[in-house]
Structure 1
Amino acid sequence: MTLNSFDNRTVSAFTSKLSPAADICVGLTILSIVVLSVLGNGLVLVICYRRRRKMVGSELLCVNLAVVDFLSCICFYPLSIMSSFHHTWLGENITCVYYGLGCYTFGLCAMFTVAAISIIRYLKTCYSLVYAVWLEGANIQLVCCVIWLVAAVWSSFPLLGWSEYVPEPYGLSCTVAWRGYHTSAKDAFYVICSFACFTMVPVLLIVVSQCRILYKLSRFSKSLSARGIRNNLKHTERCLSVMFFCISLGVVIAWAPYAVVSFLFIFHKESQYMAPEGFVFPALFAKSSHIYNPFIYFYFNKTFRRELRCLLLPLWPTLGARAKATQCTAAATLSPAGWCAPAGGPRRKRTPTILDNKVARGSLSVSI
């Protein structure tokens, strides 16, 4: 089906199927998501820019995820907010394609980025000696470019007639025509590939990688305890593992309801048995994935907290004493201590332990 098929679609497809009160609630919810995401991810991007010369290569993936979340809320969601307040999709065909293409592209980028973070974290934790050199610098930049290229190419196929972008059942958003599964063989193939290759495979990679990381760290910690060796990096390992586990789990949980509902919608020919609200709540829940990553960074990352005080100091001078006590300067290069060090000042120098030597030999890595 081509974009010209929109001409044969009635205007009612772009009219909200929700009540006016529900439309306002949807609009206010998306507006809240946009405000929180722009503030949180904007701060992340500003802080990363301030310490851009000290960033390690693998941090670019976190920056890439923040860019995806920030641009999604700036470029696309305002259209959905205004449409909710007007009880109809504004712009009809053109804006529907624009919104569907953009949201699908950025959604794929977010999923691929989290999968890449999980895989790289797994390789550097379990096979640091082999992959440590490869997983830095220009190679990570190449990974980011590949992520955007693959997402852009795959999401562009509906513009060429392979599937299409259509209004969602409740009328206030646009996405891939998942019901194309019933219209033609090529559309069905696109839908199947979208779910199998670009949803299920990344999710499986995320889950398997995170489970392997937790297993590796747990086994390593038990091995040290059995030999009576003090685990000086236990706190750092736990912080890093929990942080990246939260990021990965958050994305999977946020998008799982929407994926399930879309999957059911594909194979259920009679959509009237599915209420419009059944599509709204999963869509809003998926959009919430743009919010919580900045809070995870600020909670686990001492460097981000210190830089945040530097940014807020001119606005709230009462933070001055605390900022001075924590040496509010340009952030140091990201390190295990930078991510998870206690709030109370730098640690004293100590002599290397057996665990440090083991980490240096590549048996265990605690970097991103």
Structure 2
Amino acid sequence: KLVTLSGSMVPSYPFPTVDVPDHAHYTIGVVILAVGITGMLGNFLVIYAFCRSRSLQTPSNIFIINLAVTDFLMCFTQTPTFFINSMHKRWIFGKKGCEVYAFCGALFGICSMMTLMVIAVDRYVVITRPLASLGLMSRRKALSIVAAAWVYSMGWSLPPFFGWSAYVPEGLMTSCSWDYMTFTPSVRSYTMLLFTFVFFIPLFIIIFSYCCIFRAIRHTTRAITKISCEGTRDSAKRFNKMRSEWKMAKIALIVILLYVISWAPYSCAALTAFAGYADLLTPYMHSVPAVIAKASAIYNPIIYAITHPKYRSALSKYIPYLGRLLCVTGRDRFSSSSFQSTRRSTLTSQSESRGLSKPRNSSVSESESAHFSDTEEDSSRTPVPRQLSSDVNQVRHISQRSKVRGHNTGEFERTPVHNPTDPAICLLSQITVSIRVRFMSTCCYLHTLICTMYSTEDVFNLKVIHFQLYYFKCQIGVV
């Protein structure tokens, strides 16, 4: 049996076919195969490196691992089917196969978008509100957020199975997606809500987060630049650390922008059909954007391999051949260690912008400083007495070292008691500030627990205490 399609006679299959040159199918098939192999291999290396390297196993890096998992599964489920159908020039796996294929593409694509949104929000909190984020992100919370992203994605991927829209072949009829071509209330409502809650709202949150990040980093960088003009060694170190954090934020933005740009053509095609101009779309306008969208899975590993020092260092350590292929040098390994505790530098720079230094150990948490931050273990796990003891020991060490230096040189300078440049005095003032901040924070935390467990009548008092804490931090220059 033959049917007429585009003015020619083609065989009739359970799904319709499109009369296009054979080389169009073969070209798309080869491209999607190359994209799939590259994406699976690259994302597997990302997962392997982040799971093997202990320095990369931080709560915020769980989001990076989840993004790599979704990209890997996207390539694993879409590439073989798309390639085989392209070689046959039609869909050969039946209706159920089409539905499963489209469901996997929707699930992993939506989960990737949600993960990118979570990464942007996490970077926003860590960079713009470092004190408020102390101890906020733990491994359990990160896993809970990832699970919520999967549940949310599942909620938007299942409705076509129950009659709200449908999963159908698209483009050259060698791949499947949700039905955005049919002009019916069910299809139009699903398409409108899907784009609103899966694409536009997350995109707005990402844009807002990074606008705030850039604004905060620009403000802090200007403050550090003024301080660095004094020529002190500490100011230079903090300025370099801030530059590293700024670099990480820019790399994270590149990852998100490439993902959005990859899905933009496909979104434009779907929105054109949603607007009622489906007859203007050719089969190529469906299939080519679909290939570009699936290619978003290969960008992240490439960006990491080029720009992420600790990822490059981990690959060279566990896979030496790749280290030579990526030209990993000793400088890269040194850079990977120099990115440690970049979040601590953010707090330091923000404190110095108001003329005071920050507490030494009170600003470290398990959260990273950027898209794939490289912070160490959360020092907030260290008991306060132990931290203060180490600080006091350091004060003694500084004092003894200055005495030995004076004895050896025979020169003894009389230092004023309140000299602000004396290292011991500065460190003691930092310890005092640290104790006061921790005490006030503990009071607010206990008051919050009491109001939560017993009643809500003291909400006003709770707000007053929080305001007092904020005002106190402003006075000492840590906010």
- TM-score normalized by the length of structure 1: 0.83
Distance 1:277 1:61, change over 3 A: same
User: Who is 1:156 aligned against?
Assistant: 158
User: Who is 1:350 aligned against?
Assistant: none
Contact 1:255 1:286 in 2 (8 A): yes
CA distance in 1, matches of 2:323, 2:128: 45
CA distance in 2, matches of 1:297, 1:112: 20
Say whether 1:275 aligns with 2:282.
yes
For 2:309, the aligned partner's letter is K
> What stretches of structure 1 of length at least 5 have no aligned partner?
1-9, 341-352
CA distance in 2, matches of 1:62, 1:193: 27
Contact 2:269 2:281 in 1 (8 A): no
Contact 1:17 1:171 in 2 (8 A): no
User: Who is 2:77 aligned against?
Assistant: 75
CA distance in 2, matches of 1:246, 1:359: 33
Which deviates further from its counterpart, 18-27 or 125-134?
125-134
Distance 1:17 1:192, change over 3 A: farther
Matches within 5 A, 1:239-254: 239-254=247-262
Contact 2:117 2:203 in 1 (8 A): yes
CA distance in 2, matches of 1:359, 1:194: 46
Distance 1:339 1:273, change over 3 A: farther
Task: Give a deviation string over 1:277-311, Cα, whole Å, max 9, x none.
Answer: 12222112111111110121222222211221133
Task: Give a deviation string over 1:139-163, Cα, whole Å, max 9, x none.
Answer: 1110100001110122011111111
CA distance in 2, matches of 1:339, 1:255: 34
Deviation at 1:220, TM superposition (A): 1.1
User: Who is 1:266 aligned against?
Assistant: 274
Deviation at 1:132, TM superposition (A): 3.1
User: Who is 2:204 aligned against?
Assistant: 204
CA distance in 2, matches of 1:298, 1:19: 38
Task: Give a deviation string over 1:184-208, Cα, whole Å, max 9, x none.
Answer: 3x43222111011111011111111
Matches within 5 A, 1:162-241: 162-180=164-182, 182-184=183-185, 186-227=186-227, 228=229, 230=236, 231-241=239-249
Deviation at 1:354, TM superposition (A): 4.6
> What stretches of structure 2 of length at least 5 have no aligned partner?
1-11, 230-234, 343-350, 374-479
Task: Give a deviation string over 1:213-250, Cα, whole Å, max 9, x none.
Answer: 11110111112223435423233122211111111111
Looking at both structures, which has the greater relative contact order when contacts are Cα pairs under 8 Å and sequence separation is at least 6? 1
Q: Secondary structure at the match of 1:45?
A: helix
Matches within 5 A, 1:13-28: 13-28=15-30
CA distance in 1, matches of 2:31, 2:225: 49
CA distance in 1, matches of 2:283, 2:82: 16
For 1:55, the aligned partner's letter is Q
Q: Choose which of 270, 285, 291 in structure 1 pairs with 2:298.
A: 291
Distance 1:110 1:277, change over 3 A: same
Contact 1:14 1:92 in 2 (8 A): no
Say whether 1:42 aligns with 2:44.
yes
CA distance in 1, matches of 2:322, 2:292: 34
CA distance in 2, matches of 1:38, 1:143: 24
User: Who is 1:100 aligned against?
Assistant: 102
CA distance in 2, matches of 1:243, 1:211: 14
CA distance in 2, matches of 1:158, 1:22: 30
Contact 1:72 1:103 in 2 (8 A): yes
CA distance in 2, matches of 1:138, 1:150: 18
User: Who is 1:32 aligned against?
Assistant: 34
Q: Choose which of 99, 114, 117 in structure 1 pairs with 2:116.
A: 114
CA distance in 1, matches of 2:83, 2:115: 27
How many residues end up aligned between the 2 structures?
338
- TM-score normalized by the length of structure 2: 0.64
Distance 1:327 1:107, change over 3 A: closer
Distance 1:326 1:11, change over 3 A: same
Which deviates further from its counterpart, 221-230 or 155-164?
221-230
RMSD: 3.1
